[in-house]
Amino acid sequence: MSGEDAPAQQQNAVDQKQETKPAEEPKAEPPKTESAPAGTAEAAATPAATTDKAPEEETFTYRALVLTGYGGYDKVKLQVKKGKPALKAGEVLVRVKACGLNFADLMARQGLYDRLPSPPVTPGMECSGVVEAVGDEVTDRKVGDKVMVLNRYGLWQDVAAVPASHTFLIPDGMTFEEAAALPVNYITAYMMLFDFGNLRPNQSVLVHSAAGGVGIAATQLCKTVKDVTVFGTASASKHETISSGGVTHPIDYRTKDYVEEVRKISPKGLDIILDPLGGSDTHKAYNLLKPMGKLITYGAANMLAGQKKNLLAVAKNWYHQFSIHTLSLIQGNKSVCGFHLGYLDGETELITQAMNTILDLYKQGKVKPCIDSTWHLEQVGEAMRKMQERNNIGKVILTTEPMPEEEKKEETKKEDKKEDKKKDDKKKEDKKKDDGKKEEKKEEKKKEEPKKEEKKEEEKKEEAKKEEK
Amino acid sequence: MSGEDAPAQQQNAVDQKQETKPAEEPKAEPPKTESAPAGTAEAAATPAATTDKAPEEETFTYRALVLTGYGGYDKVKLQVKKGKPALKAGEVLVRVKACGLNFADLMARQGLYDRLPSPPVTPGMECSGVVEAVGDEVTDRKVGDKVMVLNRYGLWQDVAAVPASHTFLIPDGMTFEEAAALPVNYITAYMMLFDFGNLRPNQSVLVHSAAGGVGIAATQLCKTVKDVTVFGTASASKHETISSGGVTHPIDYRTKDYVEEVRKISPKGLDIILDPLGGSDTHKAYNLLKPMGKLITYGAANMLAGQKKNLLAVAKNWYHQFSIHTLSLIQGNKSVCGFHLGYLDGETELITQAMNTILDLYKQGKVKPCIDSTWHLEQVGEAMRKMQERNNIGKVILTTEPMPEEEKKEETKKEDKKEDKKKDDKKKEDKKKDDGKKEEKKEEKKKEEPKKEEKKEEEKKEEAKKEEK
CA proximity to B355, closest of B242, B245, B200, B217? B217
C-beta separation of A148 from A170 below 8 A: yes
Q: Which residue of B has its CA nearest to A325?
A: B323
For residues A422 and A291, give the distance between their C-alpha atoms in angstroms, rounded to a whole number.
49
All residues of chain A having their beta carbon less than 8 Å from the beta carbon of residue B337 are: 294, 329, 334-336
End-of-domain residue from the set B339, B368, B397: B368
> Could you tell me the pLDDT band of residue B436, with boundaries at 50, 70 and 90?
very low
Nearest CA of chain B to the CA of A328: how many Å? 8
pLDDT beyond 60 at A341: yes
Closest CA of chain B from A111, distance in Å? 16
Mutate to test the interface with B, among A190, A225, A333, A339 (most CBs of B within 10 A): A333
B91 within domain boundaries: yes
A140 burial type by CB count under 10 A (0-12 exposed, 13-18 middle, 19+ buried): exposed
> Does residue B362 surpass a pLDDT of 70?
yes
Q: Which residues contact A427 (CB under 8 A, 6 or more apart)?
A: none
A459 part of a folded domain: no
Higher pLDDT, A189 or B16: A189
For residue B212, the 8-state DSSP code is S
Residue B60: is its pLDDT beyond 50?
yes
A132 CA to centre of own chain? 25
Categorize the per-residue pLDDT at B53 as very low, low, confident or very high, splitting at 50, 70 and 90: low
pLDDT in tens, B231-276: 999 999 999 999 999 999 999 999 999 999 999 999 999 999 999 9
Statement: residue B88 has pLDDT above 70? yes
Q: What is the pLDDT of residues A362-396, one digit of tens each?
A: 999 999 999 999 999 999 999 999 999 999 999 99
Helix, strand or coil, per DSSP, at residue B445? helix
Q: Are residues B334 and B264 in the same domain?
A: yes
The DSSP call for residue A241 is H
Please indicate, yes or no, whether residues B230 and B345 belong to a single structural domain of this protein. Answer: yes
Helix and strand counts by DSSP (H, E) for chain B: 14, 16
Q: Are A397 and A105 in contact, with CB atoms under 8 Å apart?
A: no
β-pair type (B76-82, B61-67)? antiparallel
Residues A335 and A205 in one domain: yes
| Cα–Cα distance measured from residue B275 to residue B298, given in angstroms and rounded to the nearest whole number | 6
Q: Contact A234/A245 with Cβ under 8 angstroms?
A: no
In this structure, of A254-258, A373-377, B277-281, the range with the lowest mean pLDDT score is B277-281
According to the model, what pLDDT value does residue A406 have? 80
DSSP, residue by residue, A32-53:
-PPPPPPP-TTGGGS-SS----
Mean pLDDT of A28-52: 39
How far is the CA of A56 from the CAs of A62, A95, A119, A129, in angstroms? Answer: 12, 15, 27, 21
Question: Residue B190 and residue B274: Cα distance in Å, rounded?
Answer: 11
Given a contact cutoff of 8 angstroms between Cβ atoms, the answer to whether B261 and B234 are in contact is: no
Q: At what angle do helices B438-468 and B405-435 cross, to 10 degrees?
A: 170
Residue A361: other Cβ atoms inside 10 A? 17
The residue among A438 and B140 whose pLDDT is bigger is B140
Q: What's the mean per-residue pLDDT of chain A?
A: 82
Quick check: is B394 in a domain? no
Domain boundary among B346, B368, B390: B368
CA B445 to chain centre: 26
- Of A128-132, B14-18, B208-212, the range with the lowest mean pLDDT is B14-18
Three-state DSSP state, A37: coil
Shortest CB distance from B322 goes to which of A322, A326, A339? A326
How does residue A299 score in pLDDT terms, banded at 50, 70 and 90? confident
CB contact under 8 A, B292 and A344: yes
Q: How far apart are CA A279 and CA B107, in angstroms?
A: 35
SS3 B269: coil
CA torsion, ordered B430, B431, B436, B440, to nearest 10 deg: -140
**pLDDT at res. B441:** 45
**Could you tell me how far CA A295 lies from the centroid of its own chain?**
22
- Residue A405 is predicted with a pLDDT of 83
Least confident range from A129-138, B144-153, B401-410: namely: B401-410
A59/A33 Cα distance (integer angstroms): 9
Contact A337 B329 (CB under 8 A): yes
C-alpha closest to that of B203 among A195, A399, A285: A195
Is residue A9 over pLDDT 70? no
Cβ–Cβ < 8 Å for A34, A54 = no
Give me the pLDDT at residue A466, please. Answer: 47
Q: Which of B331, B339, B350 has the CB atom closest to A343's CB atom?
A: B331
DSSP-based three-state secondary structure for A227: coil
Residues A173 and A198 in one domain: no
Do residue A348 and residue A218 come from a single domain?
A: yes
- The total of structural domains in chain B comes to 2
Lowest mean pLDDT among A289-293, A312-316, A321-325, B62-66: A312-316
Query: Nearest C-alpha of chain A: how many angstroms from B310?
Result: 18
Cα gap A455→A426, rounded to integer Å: 16
pLDDT value at position A300? 76
- Give the distance from residue A157's alpha carbon to the nearest chain B alpha carbon, in angstroms: 27
Q: How confident is the model at residue A131, as a pLDDT?
A: 98
Contact (CB, 8 A) for B152 and B10: no
Cα–Cα distance measured from residue A379 to residue A384, given in angstroms and rounded to the nearest whole number? 9
Predicted local confidence at residue A37, as pLDDT: 38
- In angstroms, rounded to a whole number, what is the distance separating the alpha carbons of residues A424 and A430? 10
Q: How many residues are given for chain A? A: 469
* Model confidence band, residue A39 (pLDDT cutoffs 50, 70, 90): very low
Q: Cβ separation of A292 and B323 shorter than 8 Å?
A: no
Of the given ranges (A325-334, A369-378, B419-428), which has the lowest mean pLDDT? B419-428
Chain A: residue whose CA lies nearest to B298: A330
Q: What is the pLDDT of residue A184?
A: 97
Question: Residues A212, A337: one domain?
Answer: yes
Give me the interface pTM, i.e. the ipTM.
Answer: 0.79
Give the rounded percent of residues in chain A with a pLDDT score beyond 70: 73
Mutate which: B192, B281, B298, B333, vs A, most A CBs within 10 A: B333
Minimal Cβ distance to B291: which of A299, A332, A347:
A347
DSSP-assigned letter for residue B194: I
pLDDT at A161 over 70: yes
Which CA distances in Å does B372 have to B185, B261, B463? 14, 27, 14
Which of B198, B298, B328 has the CB atom closest to A198's CB atom? B198
CB contact under 8 A, B195 and A191: no
Full domain range(s) for residue B359: 193-368
Q: What is the mean pLDDT of residues A244-267?
A: 96
- How confident is the model at residue A112, as a pLDDT? 86
Among the listed ranges A68-72, A180-184, B451-455, which one has the minimum average pLDDT value? B451-455
pLDDT band (50, 70, 90) for residue A271: very high
3-class state of residue A468 by DSSP: helix
Residue A104 in any domain: the answer is yes
Helix (H, G, I), strand (E, B) or coil at A270: strand
Same domain, A340 and A205: yes
Q: Tell me the average pLDDT across A62-71.
A: 96
* DSSP assigned state of B265: H
pLDDT band for position A22 (50/70/90)? Answer: very low
Weakest-pLDDT range from A165-174, A343-352, B40-49: B40-49
**Residue B273 resides in a domain:** yes
d(CA B267, CA B290): 9
Last residue of a domain, one of B368, B394, B429: B368
Percent of chain A with pLDDT over 90: 64
Segments in A253-310 forming alpha helices (H): 258-265, 280-287
CA distance B89 to B87: 7
Contact A323 B327 (CB under 8 A): no
Q: How far apart are CA B442 and CA B449, in angstroms?
A: 11
Same domain, A334 and A272: yes
Render A354-381 in DSSP notation, one character per residue: HHHHHHHHHHTTS----EEEEEEGGGHH
What's the pLDDT band for A453 if we cut at 50, 70, 90? very low
Query: Is B16 within the bounds of a domain?
Result: no
With beta carbons less than 8 A apart as the criterion, state whether B119 and B78 touch.
no
Is-cis flag, bond preceding B120, omega within 30?
yes
Q: Distance between CA B253 and CA B4 in Å, rounded? A: 42
- Both A80 and A224 in one domain: the answer is no
- Is B338–A328 a contact, with Cβ atoms under 8 angstroms apart? yes
The Cα–Cα gap between A245 and A451 comes to 31
Q: Round the average pLDDT of chain B to a whole number and report it.
A: 82
User: Is the dihedral angle over the CA atoms A382, A387, A392, A398 positive or is it negative?
Assistant: positive
Contact A300, A278 (CB under 8 A): yes
* Residue A329 backbone dihedrals phi, psi, to 5 degrees: -60, -40
CATH number reported for the structural domain that contains residue B355 in this entry: 3.40.50.720
- List all residues 6 or more positions away from A26 whose beta carbon is below 8 Å from its beta carbon: none
Q: Which amino acid is at B318?
A: W
Contact A330 B292 (CB under 8 A): no
Residue B352 CA to residue B131 CA, distance in Å, equals 19
DSSP string computed for B272-321: EEEESS-THHHHHHHHTEEEEEEEEE---GGG--SSS--HHHHHHHHHT-
Q: Which residue has the higher pLDDT, B456 or A289?
A: A289
The answer to whether position A398 is within a domain reads no
Same domain, A358 and A227: yes
Instruction: Give the bridge partners for A149, in sequence order.
Output: A127, A167
Residue A327 scores a pLDDT above 90: no
Greater confidence (B17 vs B436) lies with: B436
Q: Would you list the DSSP string of A306-328?
A: SSS--HHHHHHHHHT--EEEHHH
Distance CA A12, CA A60 (A): 11
Contacts (Cβ under 8 Å, ≥6 apart) of A15: A38, A66, A68, A79, A120
Establish whether the linkage from the previous residue to A120 is cis, with ω within 30° of 0. yes
Q: At residue B96, what are phi and psi to the nearest 5 degrees? A: -75, 135
Put simply, the answer to whether A322 touches B325 (Cβ < 8 Å) is yes
When pLDDT is averaged across residues B183-204 and rounded to a whole number, the result is 98
CB-count burial class (<10 Å; 0-12, 13-18, 19+) for A353: middle
The pLDDT assigned to A259 comes to: 97
What chain A residue is nearest to B325 in terms of C-alpha separation?
A323
* Within a domain: A281: yes
> B308-353 pLDDT, tens per residue?
777 777 767 666 677 888 889 999 999 999 999 999 978 999 999 9
Same domain for B335 and B234 = yes
Q: What would the pLDDT profile of A82-119 be if each residue is shown by its tens digit? A: 999 999 999 999 999 999 999 999 989 998 888 899 99
Query: Helix, strand, coil % (nearest 5) of chain A?
Result: 40, 20, 40
Which residues are bridge partners to A64 per DSSP?
A: A79, A157
The amino acid at A167: T
Domain of A107: which CATH number? 3.90.180.10
Q: Are residues B164 and B220 in the same domain?
A: no
Q: CB distance A331–B343 less than 8 Å?
A: yes
Q: Which of A161, A9, A1 is nearest to A89 (CA)?
A: A161
With CA atoms as reference, report the closest residue to A95 among A404, A402, A400: A400
